[in-house]
Amino acid sequence: MAIPQWNATQTGNQAEHKAKEYLIAQGLDFIEQNFSVKSGEIDLIFKDMQQWVFVEVKYRASSSHGHAAEMFTSSKRSKLTKAIMCYLQLLDLNCHHTNMRIDLVAIDGEELNWIKNV
């Protein structure tokens, strides 16, 4: 039986909130959440001192169908990268001269794993 859309959306929002609070507690400065363009979405945007940090959040209630980190596919990375390029353009930042990284927060049940520079 499929999970109702509002449940999946609510679960995703809760996972993003948990990741956001965790990263703030680790000293990152929160900038924006759910930046969306036609080509993709950035779940969370932070600054880590002078470095932009673009965060993808993945959640799995259990590992019976794979771990959350495994859900960050090359297709998802490509969409995320396109969204990052759009975001940087809006700020008049050159992607080749901007200090940035992509991080993944993978949440499996209650276990949160922050993977830097994926």
Q: What is the count of structural domains for the chain?
A: 1
Residue-wise pLDDT for 7-59, tens only, equals 777 888 899 999 999 999 999 999 999 999 998 999 999 999 999 999 999 99
Q: Token pair for residue 4?
A: 């109702």
CA distance 30 to 49: 11
Tabulate helix, strand, coil % of the chain (nearest 5): 35, 35, 25
Helix residue spans in the chain (DSSP H): 5-25, 74-90
Looking at residues 92-114, what average pLDDT do you find? 94
Q: What pTM did the predictor assign? A: 0.90
| pLDDT (tens digit per residue) in 74-100 | 999 999 999 999 999 999 999 899 999
49 CB-near residues (< 8 Å, 6+ apart): none
Q: 108: domain range?
A: 5-115
CATH of residue 70's domain is 3.40.1350.10
Q: So what's the pLDDT on residue 66?
A: 85
Q: To which residue do tokens 């859309």 refer?
A: 5
